[in-house]
Amino acid sequence: MHTITNTRLLKVLNNEPVDRTPIWIMRQAGRYLPEYLATRKRAGDFMTLAGTPELACEVTLQPIKRFSLDAAILFSDILTVPDAMGLGLYFEAGEGPRFKSPVRTPADIKQLATPDPETELRYVMDAVRLIRRELNNSVPLIGFSGSPWTVATYMVEGGGSKEYQYIKRLMYGDTQALHQLLEKITTTTIAYLRAQADAGAQALMVFDTWGGVLTPRAYQLFSLQYMQAIVTALRKSHASIPITLFTKNGGMWLPDIARTGCNAVGVDWTTDLRDARSLTDDKVALQGNMDPGVLYGSKQTIREEVQRVLESYGSGGRHIFNLGHGIHQHIDPDNVEVMVETVHELSPAFHR
Amino acid sequence: MHTITNTRLLKVLNNEPVDRTPIWIMRQAGRYLPEYLATRKRAGDFMTLAGTPELACEVTLQPIKRFSLDAAILFSDILTVPDAMGLGLYFEAGEGPRFKSPVRTPADIKQLATPDPETELRYVMDAVRLIRRELNNSVPLIGFSGSPWTVATYMVEGGGSKEYQYIKRLMYGDTQALHQLLEKITTTTIAYLRAQADAGAQALMVFDTWGGVLTPRAYQLFSLQYMQAIVTALRKSHASIPITLFTKNGGMWLPDIARTGCNAVGVDWTTDLRDARSLTDDKVALQGNMDPGVLYGSKQTIREEVQRVLESYGSGGRHIFNLGHGIHQHIDPDNVEVMVETVHELSPAFHR
């Protein structure tokens, strides 16, 4: 790790000064890139792409080759974990992820396997090892998982959801069963993230995409508590690996997230970074938070909005530039280039 | 209005003391009620149901007959307004609302009609008049509209959306065109709400379902500014009609919403009413905010959660009990009865 060329991300995560604000993009290896679509087409389907280390490596590197980004992030999906737990993940055209065997009853939960990451998820670890080799220490590699709550929503609903009917039935009807499910996912996720770190991931991120659909109390009990368990466990086994937690629509809970002992907190675009920084008091780095929709705008608008995000965070401190959520598929890659170059150009002024 | 029997809702909106917390339920006339499904089946489709005053009246009264609620809300849809503006609203089975002619370009926006509510939307006003007659002053009738921003998202996207691709293209690519669209919708909405008040609606509510997908700055510019215009205009023409504004996922913007001069602010379940109350300082009534998912729970859980919501708001003050968003379609009406009766039973203690 000490031999890495571009250390900006790791420095900000570790509270060391940098020359400019590091930038990477959530879902940077994705459908907005023609080269990604070509590889995806060659793979045939998403699971073959994510499940073949050479292909996962190829798409992970595509945005690194195209843009001057400060980190690579493993190409994978948060639902590889429940897939390995036996749910049978598949993708329906235009329908998003689906599970063949959703988990609905206490009996379903009891039956769940807790897979060994180096066996059932070996393809992920092989991808991490291969990507590290190919990156050749140019930029750090971020590994990731979903939060137990977010993964549980997909496992119980059987796919994406609007009303969270089945998991809320569990939450308000059989709380203990839901906790058992979350514990199993947490155990698996800890092993999974440890294995990614052992395979070579240099930073870890936990995506809590659906924590924001909970009441403040339920967020603490069903989402944050289990992310806390992950941070605590990782700190024991991998004391120095930086961990980022990101709850979408979690703006009001930033102080609680920061208190878990994580290194950074992701912030979506609905919270001003000025407020996020004052709520977390520079105890953690903040990652975000340009509205992904800005990238539909003109080059001039993109430059103005990058400036606005940099200013909202302000000088010094620990800012990792990113979008507030994953990049959309219909974005012109040239606009991404404008965003990246503008961060390079304008952010040094905030680090003097 | 002075002859109305159940005045609890209007009293709380007007900052007068009540014997117990009033309760009504967002989407209370809806698919969770077998009698609604029967009428809906008879009507054939949603637009016939909403467009026939006798049928709209019938379903509006159904929850009032079944539960001891403190208000009726007009059965209609926020998209009747853009339908009257010429977009051709229709509902696809399982797909939600769609428009035959979405609005995407400045030329589309220029062409939009600004309908006269007593002509193109006369069926709504006839429904309001009929419902008032049938209610016979038992409980007040709430009229409503969507917020201009929320209505605009459907008009531009052509239906529901996850990424708001087209409206964000406008926002960041042709801001002036978006403002022109929002102005047209605002003009129409003001006329629409005034007509509802003239027809007999005794309180008004503006639903800003999608304001929460905006940055704090964009929320001010594209959503709140236009809701402010509505409140200001209504105050001029109908000084005494109470107005409630509700931005879903707008917890952090409650103080701004309260400053518009509205009487009440809706709060979804992601914000604790304790925090909402301290942020708005009893300047407005607060409406909400039980997680609709609680109604999947056991009767005991529902009672506990009702108590929790009442306690979170606390004593005195101006609380209107409601869910934090519309009731889900798969809820057992008996569980709704438990919620309503528990509010009746437990809330007097908070008003002594």
Tell me whether residue B318 is one of the annotated catalytic residues: no
> Phi, psi at residue B265, to the nearest 5°?
-125, 130
Q: What is the mean pLDDT of residues B115-142?
A: 97
> Phi, psi at residue A128, to the nearest 5°?
-60, -45
Q: What is the mean pLDDT of residues B137-153?
A: 98
Which residues of A are less than 8 Å from B169 in CB distance? 293, 296-297
Q: What is the mean pLDDT of residues B53-75?
A: 98
pLDDT in tens, B319-348: 999 999 999 999 999 999 999 999 999 999
List of residues 6+ apart from B30 with CB closer than 8 A: B36, B326, B327, B329
Say whether residue A213 is in contact with chain B using an 8 A CB cutoff.
yes
The fraction of chain A above a pLDDT of 70, given in percent, is: 99
Give CA A184 to chain center in angstroms. 20
Q: Do B296 and A216 touch (CB under 8 A)?
A: no
Give the distance from residue B250's alpha carbon to the nearest chain A alpha carbon, in angstroms. 9
Distance CA B263, CA B267 (A): 13
pLDDT at A1: 46
Which of the residues A77, A208, A256, A268 is marked catalytic? A77
Q: How many CB pairs under 8 A join A and B?
A: 102
Distance CA B43, CA B50 (A): 9
Which of the residues A36, A154, A192, A226 is marked catalytic? A154
Tell me whether residue B40 is one of the annotated catalytic residues: yes
Say whether residue B331 is in contact with chain A using an 8 A CB cutoff.
no
Q: Of A62-66, A303-307, B157-161, B239-243, which gets the smallest average pLDDT? A: B157-161
Distance CA A30, CA A67 (A): 14
Distance CA B299, CA A327 (A): 43
Look at residues A339, A312, A327, A340 and name the one whose alpha carbon lies nearest to residue A30.
Answer: A327
Q: Do B272 and A216 touch (CB under 8 A)?
A: yes
CB interface of B with A, residues 134-193, below 8 Å: 163-165, 168-169, 171-173
pLDDT at A243: 98
Q: What is the mean pLDDT of residues B236-249?
A: 98
pLDDT in tens, B10-56: 999 999 999 999 999 999 999 999 999 999 999 998 999 999 999 99
Give the distance from residue B268's alpha carbon to the nearest chain A alpha carbon, in angstroms. 9
Which of the residues B70, B77, B256, B268 is marked catalytic? B77
Exposed / middle / buried, residue A1 (Cβ in 10 Å: 0-12, 13-18, 19+): exposed
* Amino acid (one-letter) located at A145: S
Which residues of B are less than 8 Å from A168 in CB distance? 291, 293-294, 296
Q: What is the mean pLDDT of residues A249-263?
A: 97
Tell me whether residue A27 is one of the annotated catalytic residues: yes
Please give the residue of chain B at the shortest CA–CA distance from A303. Answer: B172
The fraction of chain A above a pLDDT of 90, given in percent, is: 94
Which of the residues B40, B132, B194, B277 is marked catalytic? B40
Q: Do A165 and B328 touch (CB under 8 A)?
A: yes
SS3 sequence, chain B?
Answer: CCCCCCCHHHHHHCCCCCCCCCECCCCCCCCCCHHHHHHHHHHCCHHHHHHCHHHHHHHHHHHHHHCCCCCEECCCCCCHHHHHHHHCEEEECCCEEEECCCCCCHHHHHHCCCCCCCCCCHHHHHHHHHHHHHHCCCCCEEEEEECHHHHHHHHHHCECCCCCHHHHHHHHHCHHHHHHHHHHHHHHHHHHHHHHHHHCCCEEEEEECCHHHCCHHHHHHHHHHHHHHHHHHHHHHCCCCCEEEEECCCHHHHHHHHCCCCCEEECCCCCCHHHHHHHHCCCCEEEEEECHHHHHCCHHHHHHHHHHHHHHHCCCCCEEEEECCCCCCCCCHHHHHHHHHHHHHHHHHHHC
Could you give the count of Cα atoms lying within 13 Å of A113 in the half-sphere of its Cβ?
15
pLDDT at B14: 97
Residue B2 reports pLDDT greater than 90 = no
Give the dihedral of Cα atoms B315, B320, B324, B326; nearest 10 deg.
Answer: 160
pLDDT at A162: 86
Q: What is the mean pLDDT of residues A71-82?
A: 97
Q: Do B270 and A292 touch (CB under 8 A)?
A: no
Please give the residue of chain B at the shortest CA–CA distance from A165. Answer: B293
Tell me whether residue A296 is one of the annotated catalytic residues: no
- Three-state DSSP class for A68? coil
Which residues of B are less than 8 Å from A163 in CB distance? 292-293, 328
pLDDT band at A269 (very low <50, low <70, confident <90, very high): very high
The fraction of chain B above a pLDDT of 70, given in percent, is: 99
Q: What is the mean pLDDT of residues A248-275?
A: 97
Q: Do A270 and B216 touch (CB under 8 A)?
A: yes
Give the distance from residue B195's alpha carbon to the nearest chain A alpha carbon, in angstroms. 33
Exposed / middle / buried, residue B47 (Cβ in 10 Å: 0-12, 13-18, 19+): middle
pLDDT at A62: 98
Give the dihedral of Cα atoms A302, A306, A307, A308; nearest 10 deg.
Answer: 100
Residue A67 reports pLDDT greater than 50 = yes
CB A123 within 8 A of CB A52: yes
Which residues of A are less than 8 Å from B253 in CB distance? none
Say whether residue A273 is in contact with chain B using an 8 A CB cutoff.
no
Exposed / middle / buried, residue B29 (Cβ in 10 Å: 0-12, 13-18, 19+): buried
Q: What is the mean pLDDT of residues B291-302?
A: 97
pLDDT at A342: 98
CB B159 within 8 A of CB B166: no
pLDDT band at B92 (very low <50, low <70, confident <90, very high): confident
pLDDT at B284: 98
User: Most A CBs within 10 Å: which of B270, B278, B330, as the mutation test of the A interface?
Assistant: B270
Give the distance from residue B296's alpha carbon to the nearest chain A alpha carbon, in angstroms. 5
Please give the residue of chain A at the shortest CA–CA distance from B267. Answer: A215
Q: Do B291 and A215 touch (CB under 8 A)?
A: yes
List of residues 6+ apart from B59 with CB closer than 8 A: B29, B36, B39, B40, B49, B75
Of the partner residues A165, A212, A301, the one whose CB lies closest to the CB of residue B330: A165
Q: Please, what are the domains in chain A?
A: 8-351 (3.20.20.210)
Residue A348 reports pLDDT greater than 90 = yes
pLDDT band at B96 (very low <50, low <70, confident <90, very high): confident
Look at residues B169, B129, B148 and name the one whose alpha carbon lies nearest to residue B222.
Answer: B148
Q: Which token pair is B74? A: 């007009």
pLDDT in tens, B163-212: 899 999 999 999 999 999 999 999 999 999 999 999 999 999 999 999 99
Which residue, chain included where needed, has tokens 């309001």?
A: B128
Distance CA B128, CA B134 (A): 10
Which residues of B are less than 8 Å from A217 in CB distance? 272, 308
pLDDT at A92: 80
How far is the first Cα of chain B from the last one, in angstroms, to the nearest whole number?
26
CB B67 within 8 A of CB B5: no
What Cα–Cα distance (Å) separates residue B200 from each residue in A134, B74, B84, B190, B204?
71, 11, 21, 15, 11
pLDDT at B121: 97
pLDDT in tens, A124-167: 999 999 999 999 999 999 999 999 999 999 999 999 888 899 99
pLDDT at A3: 75
The pLDDT mean for chain B works out to: 96
Tell me whether residue B133 is one of the annotated catalytic residues: no
Say whether residue B298 is in contact with chain A using an 8 A CB cutoff.
yes
